[in-house]
Structure 1
């Protein structure tokens, strides 16, 4: 069989978000566990794409690219908890840096890191903001100037009901769901550039992308026009039907656990240094 080189590109943010839905918690609650899952997934993909059942599976790999962003290291004062927060010391930042350090030591793994910018101040989720805005007309009906001059505040039953609804809406806004406006930059651009570079330099025969959105379509079109096979692994997430015309195949490198036996297969595969046999992709 003619050897074919495989380039694997992993959207790290998407991968880390989907992983807890696919593997037991002990596989994704530490940087070491996540790195093991990445290795198992990549090994399984290479085995499926090349047909080679061998321990030195990296021989068929051009490179494994992991795309993510350097954690935000700034600080900000939380408006509800009334305390400063150092984002560079958060559990998320510590986890990401530890994972990056582990991946840097892996054979044929390359990190492509964007950055995280602060684009806006603290804000609750949009749906809760919309609920609060709906109370504006009631608040405008209160004569607070009269109260300030010594008049008593008397509420009608309707106003009292509105006041209770207003309190309930504010109670829904907790410190946990008020977030600073941080946004990842440069990751999608790096994925697109690497697809184009790998394609035009003929560095791989197959590009396998682990991602969940369609931002890669222009780069995928270029790869396919130049004769590179383009495979997508959406980690069992459903994709739009029209996306199939822009890829050469859909496959999974991790099993979708449906039973204790499927979970045990993942654990046994890692212990034996073998890839688990994946199921055929299906919609959520």
Structure 2
């Protein structure tokens, strides 16, 4: 019996799931994530049986800050936003799930600001859009996460050194995990990456033991 830990980069998962599977209620998205993680326990290539150690979910609580919008000249109160309500409900639903462990970082909301979306900026520079044509939805809120990547790396290292698991499945599209993955592999851990169908850099293949996405909707 192979003991498996599943680590989920929450921000990455939520974005990919929304794009590929559409909007869902907090309860529906929490169940969707749980069901998806359990699919990783069914080995695709051999008859190995997997026992779930724990599902670690990494994310940040929603922002409660008020941020000025440069186009509408209004201050947006994120504590009253639909996203804030949804995110709090989503995290609550995950806390109720069996063998789920939440690892929450913080948002650097002191630096939160609105900025033009990249595709809109390109249109402005190319002359395909003018400043007078700008709309509220052409802007997106920019706020960085703090502590999430560090928590992922520390948990990988801890499980590897303590021999708590035989396999780690990381659901992420980030390359910042490479050092932790190399450490885990040196300790004999089978390290599998699930980028949910997103492309990864070619040189990442040498630092993982396998690449697997469990739902064709992501491909």
Provide TM-score, normalisation by structure 2: 0.88
What residue is the counterpart of 2:153 in the other structure? 192
What residue is the counterpart of 1:37 in the other structure? 32
What residue is the counterpart of 1:104 in the other structure? 95
Q: Is the 8 A contact 1:72 1:117 kept in 2?
A: no
What residue is the counterpart of 1:7 in the other structure? 5
* Structure label with greater radius of gyration: 1
Please state whether the residue corresponding to 1:47 is helix, strand or coil: coil
After superposition, the C-alpha distances for 1:174-206 in whole angstroms (9 at most, x for unaligned) are 212224432121111111111011111111110
Extract unaligned runs of 5+ from structure 2: none
After superposition, the C-alpha distances for 1:59-115 in whole angstroms (9 at most, x for unaligned) are x11110011111111112323223331112212221111110000011110011111
1:128/1:215 CA distance change after superposition, 3 Å: same
Shift, 1:133, TM fit:
7.9
1:80/1:12 CA distance change after superposition, 3 Å: same
Aligned to 2:42, which of 44, 47, 51?
A: 47
Does 1:209 pair with 2:170? yes
What residue is the counterpart of 2:61 in the other structure? 70
1:120/1:87 CA distance change after superposition, 3 Å: closer
Using the alignment, how far apart are the partners of 1:179 and 1:107 within structure 2?
A: 35
Shift, 1:169, TM fit:
1.3
Where in structure 1 do 4 or more consecutive aligned residues deviate above 6 Å?
130-134
Q: Is the 8 A contact 1:124 1:173 kept in 2?
A: no
Matched residues, number: 216
